[in-house]
Amino acid sequence: MMAMLENEFHDRASLALLSLFDNYALSNVLFVIMESKGSPNEWLNYHHLRYFHAVAQQGSVRRAAEKLGTSQSSLCAQVKQFEAVLGETLYRRSGRSIALTDFGWLIYGYAEEIFTLGREMLTTARGTPSLRLPRLHVGIVDSFPKLISLDILRPVFSQIPPVHVACHEGKLDDLLGQLAAHRLDALLADEPPPSSAKVKTFNHPLGSSGVTFCASPSLARKLSGRFPRNLHGAPLLLPTQNTALRRDLEKWFRAVQVEPVVVGEFEDAALAKIVATDGFGITAVPTIVAADAVELYGFVRVGRTDGCQFHLHLITVERRIEHPIVELLVRHACRTKGSRRRRASPGVS
């Protein structure tokens, strides 16, 4: 009799789990999974997890309640119970919206994986098996050139079977927080983590590059003199002052005694290139991808220097890289340092 009851429980639990993942609003489904010999305190209430996940996605209790078809008071009560079980706070106030704490981001990452598995299980149960792809979550600092990002990530996109790649852009401090919360597997940056960072990370240098100055053909024709004097008084589109490249550029300008006119500052390196295509200013491009930038944007090289360096860093939370896809990135980047240098055209020095 006991065996029959256990079988019936697992059958009903399976149906409930399918309904849970199939219906975002949950209806009135409540499913509890437990270890076969676990105590009640080790049970995970997936009803609570779904409510937490909805609030995290919507950034608002009101919007999450509307999405789930429940009341705000009931939603808040369920999330509070979930926090009590976990013993940690999941949310904090951020203006009029709600933001996740570092611990909340960690739990959100688990929730994403759990619900992805649930959808895959439902697909399989319906007779249409799907391939579960290996995943890579990589953060990219917004000042990091997109052409270099593609160069570094290229071997991942070429993998067979394919890898599911999720790229997250943002400020270095924000991305370091996500890395510490294990929402990211690795982080691409143009500078190492600051010594004042509260997050313990490990920096894996991927190399460096000189800088090539590029302009639209119409603007290049207006410049006079040899490089670097042709930059004196010329309009420049530079990274914002909080970036390592901007600091190096300013130092180099003083060393060669030129004073360009900064007409634009950009956190997003790709946007600076787009603005430069219309002839509004000269942009600075890492020499290793200058040939790609010339081909893609129609630029003309107006000068190149190795006196100002763009540095490439891959940051992880582990000294020895365990993630096989991240290890692949590092191997590829180190192996192609020389080929990237050879591919960079001499241009104007």
Q: Whole-angstrom Cα distance, residue 159 to residue 65?
A: 41
194 and 212 in a common domain: no
The three-class DSSP label of residue 308 is: strand
Show the beta-strand stretches assigned E in 267-318.
282-286, 300-316
141/114 same-domain check = no
24 and 62 share one domain: yes
pLDDT of residue 277: 95
Q: Which residues are bridge partners to 91 per DSSP?
A: 100
Gap between the Cα atoms of 182 and 168, Å rounded: 13
Of the candidates 239, 223, 240, the one whose C-alpha atom is nearest the C-alpha of residue 231 is: 223
Judge if 41 and 175 occupy the same domain.
no
- Domain match, 184 and 324 both: yes
Clarify whether residues 102 and 143 are in a common domain: no
In CATH, what number is assigned to the domain containing residue 322? 3.40.190.10
283 domain residue, yes or no: yes
**High-pLDDT (> 90) share of the chain, %:** 28
pLDDT given for residue 88 in this prediction: 87
Check pLDDT > 90 for residue 100.
Answer: no
Identify whether 347 is part of a domain. Answer: no
**What was the pLDDT predicted at 212?**
97
User: How many structural domains are present in the chain?
Assistant: 3
Has residue 194 been placed in a domain? Answer: yes
Question: Cα-flanking dihedrals φ and ψ of residue 65, to 5°?
Answer: -65, -40
Instruction: Kindly calculate the radius of gyration of the chain based on its CA atoms and give it in whole angstroms.
Output: 26
**8: containing domain:** 2-125
Last residue of one domain, picked from the residues 76, 93, 125: 125
DSSP for 182-213 reads TS-SEEEESSPPPTT-SS--EEEEEEEEEEEE
If you average pLDDT over residues 211-222, what whole number do you get?
Answer: 96
Residue 292 lies in a domain: yes
Residue 129 pLDDT > 80: no
Alpha carbons 113 and 110: distance in angstroms, whole number: 5
Residues 11 and 118 in one domain: yes
Q: Does residue 92 sit within a domain?
A: yes
User: 98 and 28, same structural domain?
Assistant: yes
Same domain membership, residue 12 and residue 103 = yes
CB 167 within 8 A of CB 187: no
34-74 pLDDT, tens digit per residue, is 333 444 455 677 888 888 888 888 888 888 888 888 888 88
Lowest mean pLDDT, pick from 203-207, 267-271, 326-330: 326-330
Same-domain check for residues 45 and 86: yes
C-alpha dihedral (115, 100, 167, 265), degrees to nearest 10: 160
Task: Flag whether 272 is in a domain.
Answer: yes
Say yes or no: 216 and 326 in one domain.
Answer: no
Q: In this structure, are 18 and 118 located in the same domain?
A: yes
How far lies 297's CA from each of 285, 317, 349, in Å?
12, 36, 21
Prediction pTM value: 0.61
In a domain, 345, yes or no: no
